[in-house]
């Protein structure tokens, strides 16, 4: 990029005709309008050679809390501009306030504007007639196509200038007669400013001002920054996020569909047994040992435990899946219970009578089950409770599927909330 830096604005000063304070400013050949924000002054005046006259005085005569001092230099389009003035504006209907920093480069007809609102920054520059949209917006156009981007009308407003400071090459108070329209294709913005039958077009982009501001030795830039939302980087990422998450969810569905088609769920073993006391003299309850069955792995094995006749009681099933050849053992515990009753005339119940457990990465082999039941209720030495054990392979864990499904959905909803919350702030009349 070719850099021009030999034509910086020259420091100068002018005396305010109201408060008589000296305003340090920067020379511009056509810069005859000045604004003083000295405390309790707030005067806008015209000064050329020996002629000076007051244009107006702002109602709010307190200084602007500007983030950048006059004389700050910044690189825009390969040229070193100088901050010569700033204005605090507010939209008449909504009372939304923002600050515009006017950067000047000798010989350029238009300023570069850095606009600051709610810790977000936009760089705005003038478009030539050739660069401007070829749309007659007076006919009510709400969408404009420019540079392969579709800009939609977001807000239309007039504004007042509440405070100002510095030197300007136009009567800044005339800006209050402008009608502004903003068209958004974020992070890019098109702005039209119309006075009578004349319209000027500007293009803006949300930016990080530190990418443009030239720091002086020892200078610290403590610029306001919206930590919750940064449109300078958000919208590019948001658009990519839509495609990334859509692709992720499509891949998730295709993956589960492919695995289900190529490795269908298969029931390997199923049996039902009563809970019986152990009559061998060891006490407790009788252990059940299943006949051997084959598992075609490596795969996911699901073991379900169901209690039947369980009422006001609990049942524990300790189940071991054992490889007949290697002795490799996989353990699962099923703690089943069911309690019910009435309270204040209302029926209630709690507990689970069916629980399923998944064992991942079970290798191919011949296996058998060892089930050790335990129950807290016996009737005449025998339990009135039976249990069922079912074994399946290749049953995909839907819990994992829904976790992977909802993570991008929730994240996208949060990002959309941040987006809508920000846009509600800047376009309250359109939300």
How far is residue 317's CA from residue 285's CA, in Å, rounded to a whole number?
11
Is 0.75 surpassed by the pTM of this model?
A: no
State the pLDDT at residue 8.
Answer: 63
Do 298 and 272 fall within a single domain? yes
234 domain residue, yes or no: no
Number of domains the chain is built from: 3
95 domain residue, yes or no: yes
Q: What share of the chain is helix, strand, coil (3-state, %, to 5)?
A: 20, 45, 35
Do 199 and 58 fall within a single domain? yes
Do 256 and 299 fall within a single domain? no
β-strands 51-57, 43-48 pairing: antiparallel
Do 390 and 426 fall within a single domain? no
State the pLDDT at residue 17.
Answer: 93
Range of the domain at 415: 241-260+400-430
State the pLDDT at residue 135.
Answer: 66
Contact of 105 with 7, CB cutoff 8 Å: yes
158 domain residue, yes or no: yes
List the beta bridge partners of residue 382: 379
State the pLDDT at residue 56.
Answer: 93
How far is residue 53's CA from residue 45's CA, in Å, rounded to a whole number?
6
List the beta bridge partners of residue 350: 339
Do 245 and 352 fall within a single domain? no
Do 147 and 22 fall within a single domain? yes
Do 189 and 338 fall within a single domain? no
97 dihedral zone (left: phi>0; alpha: psi -120 to 50; beta): beta
State the pLDDT at residue 230.
Answer: 61
Residue 279 CB contacts under 8 Å (≥ 6 apart), including other chains: 286
Contact of 18 with 41, CB cutoff 8 Å: yes
State the pLDDT at residue 280.
Answer: 72
155 domain residue, yes or no: yes
230 domain residue, yes or no: no
How far is residue 220's CA from residue 241's CA, in Å, rounded to a whole number?
35
Residue 400, φ and ψ in degrees, nearest 5: -65, -40
Do 96 and 172 fall within a single domain? yes
Consecutive H or E run containing 241: helix 231-262
Strands (E), 176-298: 179-185, 188-195, 198-207, 213-214, 266-274, 288-289, 293-295
Contact of 87 with 100, CB cutoff 8 Å: yes
Q: Tokens at residue 342, please?
A: 């009435």
Do 119 and 143 fall within a single domain? yes
Residue 206, φ and ψ in degrees, nearest 5: -65, 135
Q: How far apart are the first and last CA of the chain?
A: 41
Consecutive H or E run containing 399: helix 398-426
How far is residue 168's CA from residue 33's CA, in Å, rounded to a whole number?
5
State the pLDDT at residue 234.
Answer: 67
How far is residue 381's CA from residue 260's CA, in Å, rounded to a whole number?
46
- Pick the closest to residue 85 from 143, 147, 36 (CA basis): 36
How far is residue 297's CA from residue 361's CA, in Å, rounded to a whole number?
8
In this structure, what CATH number is given to the domain that contains residue 279? 2.60.120.380
6 domain residue, yes or no: no
Contact of 52 with 44, CB cutoff 8 Å: no
Contact of 393 with 317, CB cutoff 8 Å: no
418 domain residue, yes or no: yes
Contact of 80 with 65, CB cutoff 8 Å: no
Do 49 and 159 fall within a single domain? yes
232 domain residue, yes or no: no
Do 254 and 319 fall within a single domain? no
pLDDT digits (tens), the chain, 431 positions? 233 334 566 788 899 999 998 988 888 888 899 999 888 899 999 998 888 999 999 988 888 888 898 999 999 999 999 999 999 998 887 778 899 999 999 888 899 999 998 888 999 999 998 998 876 555 567 888 888 888 988 888 899 999 999 999 989 999 999 999 989 888 889 999 998 888 899 999 988 888 888 876 666 666 767 655 566 566 667 778 888 888 999 998 998 888 888 888 899 999 999 888 877 766 678 899 999 999 987 899 999 999 988 888 899 999 999 999 999 999 999 999 999 999 888 999 999 999 999 998 999 999 999 999 998 765 555 567 899 999 999 888 788 888 888 988 898 888 888 777 766 655 544 43
Counted residue by residue, the chain has a size of: 431
Do 45 and 170 fall within a single domain? yes
């Amino acid at each position: 990029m070719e850099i021009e830096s030999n034509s910086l604005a020259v420091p100068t000063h002018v005396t305010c005709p109201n408060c008589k304070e000296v305003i340090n400013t920067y020379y511009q050949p056509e810069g005859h309008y000045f604004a003083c924000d000295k405390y309790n002054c707030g005067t806008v005046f015209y000064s050329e050679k020996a002629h000076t006259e007051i244009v107006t005085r702002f109602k709010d005569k307190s200084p602007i809390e500007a983030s950048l001092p006059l004389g700050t230099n910044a690189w825009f389009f390969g040229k070193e501009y100088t901050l010569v003035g700033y204005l605090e504006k507010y939209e008449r209907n909504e009372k939304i306030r923002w600050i515009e920093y006017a950067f000047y480069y000798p010989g350029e007809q238009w300023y570069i504007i850095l606009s600051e609102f709610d810790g977000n920054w936009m760089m705005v520059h003038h478009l030539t007639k050739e660069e401007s949209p070829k749309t007659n917006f007076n006919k009510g156009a709400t969408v404009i196509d420019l540079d392969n981007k579709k800009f939609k009308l977001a807000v239309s407003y007039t504004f007042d200038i509440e405070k100002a400071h510095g030197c300007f090459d136009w009567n800044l108070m005339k800006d209050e007669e402008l009608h502004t329209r903003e068209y958004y294709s974020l992070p890019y913005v098109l702005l039209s400013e119309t006075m009578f039958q004349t319209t000027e077009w500007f293009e803006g982009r949300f930016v990080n001002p530190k990418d443009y501001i030239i720091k002086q030795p020892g200078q610290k830039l403590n610029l306001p920054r919206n930590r919750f939302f940064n449109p300078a980087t958000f919208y590019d990422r948001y658009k990519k996020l839509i495609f990334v998450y859509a692709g992720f969810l499509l891949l998730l569905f295709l993956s589960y569909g492919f695995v289900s088609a190529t490795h269908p769920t298969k029931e390997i073993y199923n049996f039902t047994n009563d809970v019986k006391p152990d009559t061998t003299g060891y006490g407790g309850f009788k252990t059940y040992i299943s006949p051997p069955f084959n598992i075609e792995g490596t795969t996911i094995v699901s073991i379900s435990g169901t209690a039947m006749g369980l009422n006001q009681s609990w049942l524990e099933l300790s189940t071991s899946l054992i490889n007949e050849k290697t002795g490799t053992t996989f353990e699962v515990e099923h703690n089943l219970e069911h309690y019910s009753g009435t309270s204040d005339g209302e029926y209630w119940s709690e507990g689970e009578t069916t629980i399923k457990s998944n064992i991942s990465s079970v290798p191919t082999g011949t296996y058998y089950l060892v089930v050790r039941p335990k129950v807290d209720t016996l009737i005449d030495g025998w339990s009135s409770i039976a249990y069922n054990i079912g074994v399946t392979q290749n049953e995909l864990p839907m819990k994992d599927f829904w976790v992977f499904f909802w993570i991008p959905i929730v994240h996208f909803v949060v990002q959309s909330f941040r987006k809508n919350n920000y846009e509600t702030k800047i376009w309250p009349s359109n939300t």
